[in-house]
Structure 1
Amino acid sequence: MAPAGHVYDENPFRLENPSILDIAPPEPKSVEETGLKMGLLSDIALKFLYYAGTGTGMGIAEEMCLPWPGVIEHVVDFLATEKLVDLRGGKGFGRASVEFILTEKGREYARDALTRTTYVGPAPVPIEQYNALITSQTEETPVVSQEELVAALSHLTVPAELMDKLGPAVNSGRSLFLYGPPGNGKTSLAEAVSHMFGGEVFVPHCLEIGNQIIQVHDHLLHTPVTLEMGRDSGARRQTFEMDKRWMLCRRPAVVVGGELTLETLDLIYSESTRFYEAPFQVKANGGMLLIDDFGRQKVHPTDLLNRWIVPLEKRVDFLTLHTGKKFEIPFDQLLVFSTNLDPKELVDEAFLRRIKYKIEVSNPDEESYREIFRRVCEAAGIPYVDQAVTYLVEHYYKPRTMQLRACHPRDLVGLIKDAARYRQIPPALSKDLLDQACEVFLVNL
């Protein structure tokens, strides 16, 4: 169990959910506690020395994110006993500061290891340890209150009835279908939901299953939260050390669109590196996976949705190694589908039944449209004129029976600023500038 009381560093992403540390994986004290075989650990150490030329015991430990005492010291002892490494500089054997170099036999073994996989870096976490921690982590998902929901969506103009539907969906942590006309903020809502969760999750650098390595951590998706263990309220020094093969990160929000295919929902094997990259849903564990613009993917929606039936029902997924071996992995995220198309035209009743929350994000009414326009003008530093919006509605929308869209104010204000910059005049909601913007923007809508 992790201790209470921590001193945070200046990292802008501060710990929001201290209770997550109660399930923090402790640093292994022996090779057995890593859950990995000596052969795999030795291979990584050999490849590190092969590329680096030389390295100290502590350098190997830092590269592999494992402690020197009890773990890497035994790995190095094994390599020395097998005459795969030699000392350099005549320093005392067994010390963390000793510098090691590969023997000719060691270089041969390293080259052989590279034919199996070129992976070098933090030691992997066994799939069994990963599954156990992710399952425990699920219980640490915070509940979002009505006040927190309102605060998280305060930058958006969201009707009260939509908030009342969204709140329970978020707290379910299961699945959500957002649908409605384009340009009304479905993606913005989903992104706000991901930030609303807050808190942190544990993400491993990589996983091990059957001596195969799967890279999970993605620096584009996982933002680390740095902690410095300090003193608790009783001024008692804490000694807890976390397993450095894991990183404490902000809850991930993974967004995929038209690039999504059935192949990218399984392990991605590289023939050149000979290790795997985890699919989107594994990288999103503990957070949110948004399938944006659903229905526009190259793969048929039915095929794509059939892929989700078991994970949505059982909260587990099954992945396949290139050897044909299948294994189970937790499916622990809020899965959000966002589409401009009618859900009934995309999916059958059986699948819709598995999506517990279906929420329509409709066009704004005129009052909401004016509020959006006001906020956009305020953000752009342009004086808001309500009569200008009345003119816009009466002279452009109503005569053309056009629907109000939440994105239109942003787009029109952007065009007004462009025209004003060209004319070298201050941007304003004047009839002249508004007409020019509408004539180029609303003509085909």
Structure 2
Amino acid sequence: MSAAPNLHHMQVPGLTQDDRPSVLETVGDTGLSGEFITDLLLKVLYIQGARSGLQVMEVVRLPFQFVDDRLLDLQQRRMVEVRGTSGLSRAGYIFDLTGAGRDRARDALTANQYVGPAPVPLDQYRAWTLKQSITNARVTRDMVREGFRALVLEDAMLEMLGPAINSAKSLFLYGAPGNGKSFISETIAGLLGGALYIPFAIEVDGQILQLFDPVYHHPIRHEPESISRGHDPGEWLKPIEDHDRRFIKVERPVVMVGGELTLDQLDLQYDPFTKMYQAPFQLKSNGGVLILDDFGRQRTPPRDLLNRWIVPLEKRIDFLSLHTGGKFPVPFDTLLIFATNLAPADLVEEAFLRRIHYKIHVLGPDPEEYREIFRRCCQDRDIAYQEAAVQHIYARYYGQMSIQPRACHPRDILDHLLDISRFLEVEHRLSTELLDRACQSYFLDDSTAAGS
């Protein structure tokens, strides 16, 4: 199977100038109390040491006026003092904690050890997630054909995939291993494209939930850097940001989990040392795609996983639990894709599978499709294609050894052939000798194993 297509040039639904969190104008717009912000600033200075006003602002990602007002208040309360200056304005003042400030910071750290961008209250996160919902993303027939051009798929398959993607609900891909289920899932994620804004962290009843994860959230680097401004005191009073900087613009997230998934990973992960929460996979995938690969091979039974997702799949709302026992609703705004090579009937009964909206059987290639995949793989590897090579593989291995052709076989066989030809220091070509050596090191010969 050939490489994934480059989808960046395609026209996909994106954010307009107005589809961004508005620049904060008052402290009230943050949804946080003044004391919450004060504690955050104290923790920054306690953990990072003396910092300029600019540096503190860059950590908490709030307008400088908000930060400076709190720092001035802390100076008057003798919790913060100025140790020097690196510029003409208060943005260049070097702030440090006094003894009283250190005591207050330690008290704040006992509640949680979060130091970073000011969090976004849960209600603001909910509202913003719904505004940029994945249900607003759309693909057309032409977009689907272009997006899957690197795969050899029947038109009937593409005609089913398109509506499933537009549903933004759930999709069940099943079939024998090696026929491209995982690759189809990843291509769907790339096909949707676009970008969205997510908060670095969420505040829930005074608790901090960290959402941004660089593994799944890839920033789009276009934000103005306030650090590049000059030292004119007036400049620091002018908001130059084009959005609320507690949010970061990222590519549409794609989260893939496999056999390592456990049921407890679908709820908040509480760290008793930092007293903070990590968001579960489905929350990190909001606005994007969540792929559950190798469904049925998790340590958690498939029935239990589907039970966990019955309400989210139907209502598009999930419920998470705090370690204190409280529960709260969050949007379940993701295209959930299940991929499995197990028989659906062996996983769960039909009543459970009805909860999954679209089911698509990914079949192995017929001879014509196989030849096309083989030809493309040869082209990608600068190997001259020969029809006789495919006929030899079908006769010698698929025929005599009763092996079922898979879509991944051409890629893997040719990769083996390249490895062998490099080792032998011979030309990369589809000779019978190289093909046999490649296939013999790739396919399992059960008859030989039985004889030994």
TM-score (norm 2): 0.89
Match among 98, 105, 114 for residue 103 of structure 1: 98
Distance 1:387 1:92 in 2: 75
Alignment of 1:228-307 (within 5 A): 241-307=242-308
**Deviation string for 1:169-222 (max 9, x for gaps)?**
011111000000000000000000000001111111010001111111111111
Structure 1 residues 386 and 321 mapped into 2: Cα distance closer, same or farther (>3 Å)? same
Distance 1:112 1:345 in 2: 54
Secondary structure at the aligned position of 2:283 is classed as helix
Secondary structure at the aligned position of 2:291 is classed as strand
Structure 1 residues 17 and 143 mapped into 2: Cα distance closer, same or farther (>3 Å)? closer
In the alignment, is the contact (CA less than 8 A) between 1:16 and 1:200 conserved in 2? no
Secondary structure at the aligned position of 1:403 is classed as coil
Alignment of 1:57-136 (within 5 A): 57-69=53-65, 71-89=66-84, 95-136=90-131
CA RMSD of aligned residues (A): 2.2
Structure 1 residues 73 and 432 mapped into 2: Cα distance closer, same or farther (>3 Å)? same
Amino acid at match of 1:334: L
Distance 1:92 1:137 in 2: 40
* Amino-acid identity (%): 45
**1:28 Cα shift?**
1.3
TM-score (norm 1): 0.91
- Counterpart residue number, 2:389: 388
- Runs of 4 or more above 4 Å deviation: 12-18, 90-94
Secondary structure at the aligned position of 1:247 is classed as strand
Distance 1:15 1:78 in 2: 50
Distance 2:18 2:432 in 1: 61
In the alignment, is the contact (CA less than 8 A) between 2:317 and 2:332 conserved in 1? yes
In the alignment, is the contact (CA less than 8 A) between 1:175 and 1:356 conserved in 2? yes
**1:343 Cα shift?**
1.4
Secondary structure at the aligned position of 2:402 is classed as coil
**Deviation string for 1:363-417 (max 9, x for gaps)?**
1101001111111111111111011101111222122322110011111111111
- Counterpart residue number, 2:46: 50
**Deviation string for 1:297-335 (max 9, x for gaps)?**
111111111110010011010001111111110000100
Structure 1 residues 14 and 44 mapped into 2: Cα distance closer, same or farther (>3 Å)? farther
**Deviation string for 1:267-322 (max 9, x for gaps)?**
11112222111010011000000000001111111111111001001101000111
- Counterpart residue number, 1:407: 408
Structure 1 residues 91 and 400 mapped into 2: Cα distance closer, same or farther (>3 Å)? closer
Amino acid at match of 2:41: A
Distance 1:141 1:212 in 2: 31
Structure 1 residues 127 and 172 mapped into 2: Cα distance closer, same or farther (>3 Å)? same
Amino acid at match of 1:47: K
- Counterpart residue number, 2:232: none
**1:444 Cα shift?**
3.5
Amino acid at match of 2:40: I
Amino acid at match of 1:251: R
In the alignment, is the contact (CA less than 8 A) between 1:87 and 1:93 conserved in 2? no
In the alignment, is the contact (CA less than 8 A) between 1:15 and 1:200 conserved in 2? no
**Deviation string for 1:130-168 (max 9, x for gaps)?**
000101111773211111111111111111111111011
Distance 1:355 1:206 in 2: 31
**1:432 Cα shift?**
0.9
Structure 1 residues 435 and 112 mapped into 2: Cα distance closer, same or farther (>3 Å)? same
Distance 1:149 1:408 in 2: 24
- Counterpart residue number, 1:28: 24
Secondary structure at the aligned position of 1:400 is classed as coil
Structure 1 residues 204 and 135 mapped into 2: Cα distance closer, same or farther (>3 Å)? same
Structure 1 residues 354 and 14 mapped into 2: Cα distance closer, same or farther (>3 Å)? closer
Unaligned ranges ≥5, structure 2: 1-7, 225-238, 447-452
In the alignment, is the contact (CA less than 8 A) between 2:210 and 2:279 conserved in 1? yes
In the alignment, is the contact (CA less than 8 A) between 1:316 and 1:330 conserved in 2? yes
Match among 209, 216, 219 for residue 214 of structure 2: 219
Distance 1:240 1:106 in 2: 30
In the alignment, is the contact (CA less than 8 A) between 2:417 and 2:434 conserved in 1? yes
In the alignment, is the contact (CA less than 8 A) between 1:267 and 1:278 conserved in 2? yes
Distance 2:270 2:105 in 1: 21
Alignment of 1:134-173 (within 5 A): 134-138=129-133, 141-173=136-168
Distance 1:323 1:30 in 2: 32
Equivalent pairs counted in the alignment come to 425
Unaligned ranges ≥5, structure 1: 1-11, 230-237
